[in-house]
Amino acid sequence: MYALRFLTIFFVVSRAHIGDRINRKLVHSWLKEDRGF
């Protein structure tokens, strides 16, 4: 139980930090391509 909870929290936190940077870059690039900014 503790291991599963720890892995879940670790996954969410790491995904939030690492994925946030990647997602922001992707979203900005998509917005630039779609809206032509």
Q: For residues 17 and 5, what is the distance between their CA atoms, to the nearest angstrom?
A: 18
Q: What is the pLDDT of residue 29?
A: 84
User: What gap in Å lies between CA 21 and CA 28, rounded to an integer?
Assistant: 11
Structural Rg of the chain based on CA atoms: 15
Instruction: Name the H helices within 1-37.
Output: 2-35
The model's pLDDT over 1-37, given as tens digits with 9 standing for 90+, comes to: 788 898 888 888 887 778 788 888 888 887 777 665 4
Q: What pLDDT score was predicted for residue 17? A: 78
User: Are the CB atoms for 31 and 37 separated by under 8 Å?
Assistant: yes
